[in-house]
Amino acid sequence: MLQGKQTWLFRNKPVLTAEATIVGPDEGQGPLKDRFDVVHPDLMLDQDSWEKAEKLMMEQAAQLVLKRSGLQKEQIQFYIGGDLLNQIISNSFAVRKLSIPYIGVFGACSTSMESLALASMIVDSGGAHHVMAGTCSHNCTAEKQFRYPTEYGSQKPPTAQYTVTGAGAAIVSATGEGPVITAATIGKVVDMGIKDPFNMGAAMAPAAADTIAMHFKDTQREPGYYDLIVTGDLASVGYAINLDLLKQKEVDISQTEYNDCGLMIFDMEKQKQLVQAGGSGCACSAVVTYGHLIKLMRAGELRRILVVATGALMSPISFQQGESIPSIAHAVAIENGVN
């Protein structure tokens, strides 16, 4: 059901019945290392390219979430997913082995919540009983595509973020045990004219603030309704800007805890020289949400969370042609004990 201008309320409460997360070595050195299902010790995963390594992580996450759910792949009606690579090849190639009807999406780093929102809408409307949502990213493939060749070893400014190497998958079902998805606010494209690919937090923060403000306006909820509001990958720069923008919009989130997946996934003291401002990438919000936050919900430590994944909708071509960086944010509300 549409609520307000941009928000879906899910009357039938689709259930998150299973999740799986795969990460790389740097994420395995962070504070959430014990929350992920698989931590790979190297970036290549015994493949002959970083792109193939990224695809393999997505395959592994999809197979693991199937195993955990107890479902056969024939019972999954749709797979919805995307990634950062041109033509979303990591997901498209990974799904070849699943042989599940496939909906490819691109929301840059917002893809985790974009795919989860769409999966929830399909299930809530009766269009499917089980839908898998997945996304992935790899530090070396993203650096190579959007910035400089990884081997170049370019020095990065303190505003730069470090693309998370990982993959996350979840299954949304019409019935079952687990937290439920109660709402999703679909974001608008927001562009404040920022052109620096090493300052993604500043580019994406206005989109995050816009979506968060619209979520509360549409739902008539107060920020204190949630135990936690978490943005996807604004890292330290975007985190601070988002707080300032929300104050300007008269949205007071001091009533609840606010954090950012890009700050949670890495040790911002021990790993700062590597990650600079913090984490980013499609996998950032996916693995933190599916690997850590949902575990807290299943353990009863969180009851209601709002996950706001953010994405920079640029391409190598748009950057080379001097375009600014349009951004977007999608918010998904996940709750315990609502059925």
β partners of residue 180: 15, 335
312 has pLDDT over 70: yes
Distance of CA 294 to CAs 63, 76, 192, 195, 316, Å? 19, 21, 33, 35, 34
Q: Say yes or no: 51 and 185 in one domain.
A: no
Q: Are residues 117 and 237 in the same domain?
A: no
203-214: average pLDDT: 98
C-alpha 258/C-alpha 251 separation (Å) is 13
- Contact yes or no for 265/30 (Cβ under 8 A): yes
Same domain, 115 and 197: no
Of 173, 194, 218, at which residue does a domain stop?
Answer: 173
Residue span of the structural domain in which 323 resides: 180-335
The total number of structural domains in the chain stands at 2
Torsion angles phi and psi, residue 197, rounded to 5: -70, -5
Q: Are 286 and 168 in contact (CB under 8 A)?
A: yes
> pTM (2 decimals)?
0.96
199 plus 68 within the same structural domain: no
Please give the pLDDT value at position 148.
62
Task: Tell me, yes or no, whether 199 and 271 share the same domain.
Answer: yes
Q: How many CA atoms lie within 13 A of 95 on its CB side?
A: 24
Same-domain status, 192 and 78: no
Question: What confidence tens digit (pLDDT) does each residue in 120-143 have?
Answer: 999 999 999 999 999 999 999 988
Mean pLDDT of 162-181: 97
